[in-house]
Structure 1
Amino acid sequence: MCTRCLWLDASKPDYVAYHDEEWGVPIWNDNKLFEFITLESAQAGLSWYTILKKRTHYRAAFKGFDVEAVAKMTETDVEQLMDNPGIIRNRAKIKATINNAQRFIAVQQEYGSFAKYQWSYVDFEPIINDIRGREDYPATTEISERFAKDLKKRGFKFLGPTTVYAHMQASGMVNDHDNDCFRKNPLIEHAKSLDLRSLLN
């Protein structure tokens, strides 16, 4: 039987699949990063599992997380999304997603890719944290504070330091799997094999 992270509710198969297959895997594909940013910003004030259950609805509502298409969404689209029971019907969060798509594209234009911008915060290598118990999970870090501050300066919404740290965990910028979790070491080896510095520069 696999040992998994302490935070995981193993009674939920979709949550287990997310932990086993996605959480902490380094991502450098911009569309995938936009998906994670969209979902994390929607989570603000809610549980991640609430958003995870709605992920397929978010994918359909926001055009497969095509950042160019989302950036062009209009007030008419906002009104239609407010009637969509599959997503969180919060007008501010919906409008923030469209705004964030526009800001995301601006970062791509400046850096060549959002991934290059994002991964520069950890010098293109995941931070591996020593997680022995629940008290070892950080909520924010100095890096997530700086990252969030810069995102805010660039006009992004619903991406404060805690939300940004959750994004960093999800997209593999940090490896916060428990030391005893069966995913910890394979992800360390996977990250070493990637050479993100060469991939993104």
Structure 2
Amino acid sequence: MQFLHPDGTTGVFVVTSAGPGEGKSTTAANLAISIAETGRRVVLIDADLRLPRVAGLFGVEGGIGLSDVLVGRFRLNDVLQRWQRGTLFLLPSGTIPPNPAELLGSGAMDTLLKDLAAAFDVIIIDSPPVLLVTDAAVVSRFATGAIVVVAAGTTHRPRLVDAVRTIEAAGPRVLGTVITMLPPSRADRAGYGTQERTAWAQR
């Protein structure tokens, strides 16, 4: 991902999937953690205002967050949460609104992302599955591009093609895919740790 946006600019990446249960939220969280471990300042936004998961994954309070900032109830600095003591910050979803797509496509969302871009190196946005609702396509208009999560053995090619077309019809590029739920290969099962445990059990 370090090569997906020019130096000196903030990369804004929407993480989505074709359908539910394909691991997009976990992927977004792991990407955010991995990038922050390199020392870059990262903010992970839970823009899944229908079924938020980021607060639960990190064990933080998610009752106040993105939606509350977008409607003017709270200031951004009041709801941003630093994770542990590193360079990763979290913006939970906040109050579940009746109009998620409208909020995510609003001028307030555009302004919010511009404010965050002034303070962070990378912005990762966890958004709903693109074939279920329009939220991901709407918010991706403000992004550098989108990353589509594909579940091995679950995501069918026609649905993936439809997801890519839906995103690109809104304007941004699909920058890549992340494959999740891959079964362990024979080489993985025979890795060093497995061999060591087997040898210990035989003693």
Task: Provide the TM-score with structure 1 as the length reference.
Answer: 0.31
- Mark the structure with the bigger radius of gyration: 2
Higher strand share: 2
TM-score (norm 2): 0.31
